[in-house]
Amino acid sequence: MENSHGSARVLQFLGEGTSLTCAQLGALLISSASHLITTQFMKSIQFSRFTILLLGALTVGASQLGSNCLAAPDPNWLDHDHERPLPPVVTPGESSTGTQAGKPPSDATVLFDGKDVASWVSMDGSPTKWIARDGYMECVKGSGYVRTLQNFGDCQLHVVWAAPVPAHGEGQGRGNSGVFFGLDRYEIQVLDSFESKTYADGSAGSVYGQYPPLVNASRRPGEWQNYDIIYTAPRFDEAGKVLSRARVTVFLNGVLIQNNVELTGPTSWLQRAPYSPHPVKQPISLQDHGNPVRFRNIWVRELGKPGKKEFTPAVALLESYTGVYGSDNKFEITREGNQLMADLQGIRFVLFAESPTKFFAKTTDVQMEFMSNNQGKVDRLVWSVGEGANTAQKAP
């Protein structure tokens, strides 16, 4: 039999009592089907239609078998295992009303509580010109986007917003802003879409330029509207290749409007932009589109395994850290955009900020803290690789 090699492999594993995961079995079945199709086609084009359909179904089924394995329960625990840890307790929040902002869940990070804009800065890290008053913060025309100081990856984001009243303008010029993940890459459109027409993939709740909302659940201008967004950040390998794309699920005023959609890349006005690699955790941003859109009750819950908090300091601060440090073990610190890079003995590390002065790497246990002299000028860093603490002076 022409496919004896592939079939023999499956039978060998099963005959030996080898434990196969469904993903491994799926891969073996796909390999066997592919080998048979190729062999028979090369041998003769007189291949029965039924056999082709059968092998096609086998391949699809095996592929589905492998993908279903990803959703399997944790194999480390028995069903109903009494020793399995219970989930952490979270005190639920309270929903907003037309006049009163709601309360966040107990495990949420509050990004705006109606008091000040301390958690927000301009895109370069300088103080923002957006204003906070009467329990909300408002976009100031021409002031630019604002972003969070803290970075977030996979998360649940709650944002309450209101378009200006009385309504002014038409289409994209009416109550326009946006909620961005990945710094400024992936936008959920904010727009006054109440009895107002524009292109579908630019209306309120759209993944801008890619997916229109499933329905228009907009309230009247001036009324508070609620976004609840589940964001899954894209992943990239070391070479920058996309391993998994960004995904979002969006509720507007309690109505599902985006159902776990997969983004084709960054959202854009004029092009279908491709992905470019970036860290999982990035700031969340709000757009200045020239309209005085208001925001209140903004909070976020990080999803997945807990880790160190990450921040994006001001560009000017990052620039002050660049230079050469040390004599024996020289560190060269450079900046690429909003990220510091460290070069030690020809090995390059991406540095992540856990505070304005402390940084760490994720591939090796590299820790760095930049220190300043009495005049406030950065003149040294304290560093370690795995253990100890070393001080390196900054070269003049």
Residue range 337-378, pLDDT digits in tens: 999 999 988 999 999 999 999 999 999 999 999 999 999 999
Q: Is 214 exposed, middle or buried (0-12, 13-18, 19+ CB in 10 A)?
A: middle
| Mean pLDDT score across all residues of the chain | 86
User: Do 352 and 359 form a contact (C-beta atoms < 8 A)?
Assistant: yes
- Which of 53-62, 84-93, 100-109 has the weakest average pLDDT? 53-62
- Spatial distance between the Cα atoms of 184 and 179, rounded to a whole number of angstroms: 9
Average pLDDT over residues 175-192: 96
Which of 100 and 15 is assigned the larger pLDDT? 100
pTM of the model: 0.80
| DSSP-assigned letter for residue 157 | E
Average pLDDT over residues 20-47: 50
Residue 310: per-residue pLDDT: 97
Q: Cis omega before residue 166 (within 30°)?
A: yes
Average pLDDT over residues 45-66: 52
- Spatial distance between the Cα atoms of 376 and 48, rounded to a whole number of angstroms: 80
**Closest residue by Cα to residue 232 from 180, 178, 272, 181:** 181
- Spatial distance between the Cα atoms of 153 and 199, rounded to a whole number of angstroms: 30
| Residues above pLDDT 90, as percent of the chain | 71
Residues 6+ apart with CB under 8 A from 269: 208, 209
- Look at residue 308 and tell me whether its pLDDT is greater than 70: yes
Question: Following DSSP, what letter does each residue of 345-395 receive, concatenated?
Answer: TTEEEEEEESSSSEEE-SSS-EEEEEEE-TTS-EEEEEEEESEEEEEEEBP
Average pLDDT over residues 261-269: 96
Residues 6+ apart with CB under 8 A from 276: 240, 266
- Spatial distance between the Cα atoms of 143 and 90, rounded to a whole number of angstroms: 37
